[in-house]
């Protein structure tokens, strides 16, 4: 399996900790033979950040264990730097430094294909929010991993920040193998804090997404839903309208105040078929006509109805009897 497929699967599964209670699946791709180390940041006497009942070290471990389950289900051999609330230090002298040193040694001794370190961000201002991927220049592949993960997540999550290089981290400077640190959100931000703690948000998006998918299936004869209906991210729809030019359709939708994107985030601005979509088995012609719709906290069924009517207005030959938007 090539490197891109490995990263695609990891990207897809990382979303499971960004959106709690969501199970992400990539069909027909396997991680068999791949070794991945997951590092839950902080632990022991080091709680990490705290805010509104969230203790970072505890939630990091919950997120890592969820990701471990998904990666293992794909055949990967997964190791955790810590499996409980304890850190890796064996002394009270320079405890933090020894913990980080032992984590780096643990990873290096396993010679993994990649590692992922999970943290949560916190700053004095409640304004800042979003997931962010950090990398060091220690390994030339680190930036590639950060880029691919960030681009892939952007097509499914609205609050994703740009990647950032940081060579000041003691632990990551001493790891020989490729990997990244992911700050899954700002617990100092009320919105991120809520999303990390609650599943109502995901249930809302899932209901809205299912409604949109069902309405599209009923309304359009030439629609192809990319991915399974059973296991799908809660706020994202990727569909192809056979025989349609996605670039032209996106322009027309934009004129009707509907924001959408073509292909996949990894191939934005590229007219060639998305390698993400072709990697999951989509034919070239359908990959070229693919469009992504992403729902957020403020979207409603009325928005979905408007979307369906707008598409029907633009490609009426494929639609049922739907009244176009005014």
The CA-CA-CA angle for residues 184, 190, 195, to 5°, reads 50
Closest Cα to residue 78, out of 116, 122, 46?
Answer: 116
Judge whether 3-197 and 200-318 match in fold. Answer: no
Element (H or E) spanning 182, and its range? Answer: strand 179-186
Q: Which of 2-11, 250-259, 308-317 has the lowest mean pLDDT?
A: 2-11
Closest Cα to residue 8, out of 307, 282, 310, 306?
Answer: 282
Q: Say whether pLDDT at 17 is over 50.
A: no
Distances (CA, A) of 65 to 71, 81, 98, 156: 10, 11, 23, 21
Q: Say whether pLDDT at 326 is over 60.
A: no
Query: Any idea where the domains of the chain sit in the sequence?
Result: 3-197, 200-318
Q: Say whether pLDDT at 79 is over 90.
A: yes
What architecture does CATH give domain 3-197?
3-Layer(aba) Sandwich (3.40)
Tell me the percentage of the chain whose pLDDT exceeds 90: 30
- List alpha helices for the chain, DSSP H: 3-18, 56-73, 95-110, 142-154, 170-173, 190-197, 200-219, 246-255, 275-279, 284-288, 301-314
Distance CA 301, CA 285 (A): 30
Position 15 scores a pLDDT of: 46
Position 262 scores a pLDDT of: 78
User: Tens digits of per-residue pLDDT, 235-250?
Assistant: 888 888 888 888 888 8
Strand partners, 238: 292
Q: Say whether pLDDT at 6 is over 70.
A: no
Distance CA 46, CA 221 (A): 57
- Angle of helix 200-219 versus helix 301-314 axis, rounded to 10: 30
pTM of this prediction?
Answer: 0.57
- SS3 call for 324: coil
Q: Is 200-318 a domain of CATH 3.90.1150.10?
A: yes
């Amino acid at each position: 399996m090539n490197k891109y497929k490995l990263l695609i699967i990891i990207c897809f599964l990382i979303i499971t900790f960004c959106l709690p209670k969501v199970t992400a699946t990539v069909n027909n791709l396997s991680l068999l033979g791949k070794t991945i180390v997951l590092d839950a940041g902080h632990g022991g006497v080091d709680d990490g950040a705290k805010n509104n009942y969230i203790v970072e070290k505890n939630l990091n471990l919950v997120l890592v264990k969820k990701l471990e389950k998904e990666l293992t289900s794909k055949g990967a051999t997964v190791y955790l730097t810590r499996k409980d609330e304890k850190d890796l230090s064996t002394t009270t002298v320079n405890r933090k430094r020894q913990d980080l040193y032992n984590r780096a040694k643990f990873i290096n001794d396993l010679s993994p294909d990649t590692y992922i370190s999970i943290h949560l961000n916190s700053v004095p201002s409640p304004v800042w929010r979003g997931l962010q991927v950090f990398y060091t220049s220690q390994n030339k592949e680190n930036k590639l991993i950060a880029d691919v993960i960030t681009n892939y997540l952007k097509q499914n999550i609205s609050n994703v920040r740009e990647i950032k290089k940081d060579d000041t981290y003691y632990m990551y400077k001493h790891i020989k193998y490729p990997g990244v640190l992911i700050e899954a959100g700002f617990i100092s931000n009320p919105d991120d804090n809520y999303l990390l703690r609650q599943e109502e948000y995901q249930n809302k998006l899932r209901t809205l997404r299912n409604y949109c998918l069902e309405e599209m299936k009923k309304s359009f004869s030439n629609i192809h839903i990319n991915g399974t209906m059973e296991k799908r991210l809660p706020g994202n729809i990727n569909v192809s309208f056979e025989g349609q030019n996605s670039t032209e359709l996106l322009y027309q939708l934009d004129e009707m105040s509907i924001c959408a994107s073509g292909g996949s985030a990894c191939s934005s601005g590229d007219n060639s078929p998305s390698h993400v979509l072709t990697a999951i088995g989509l034919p070239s012609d359908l990959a070229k006509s693919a469009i992504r719709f992403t729902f957020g906290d403020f979207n409603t069924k009325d928005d979905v109805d408007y979307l369906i009517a707008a598409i029907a207005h633009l490609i009426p030959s494929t639609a049922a009897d739907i009244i176009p938007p005014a």
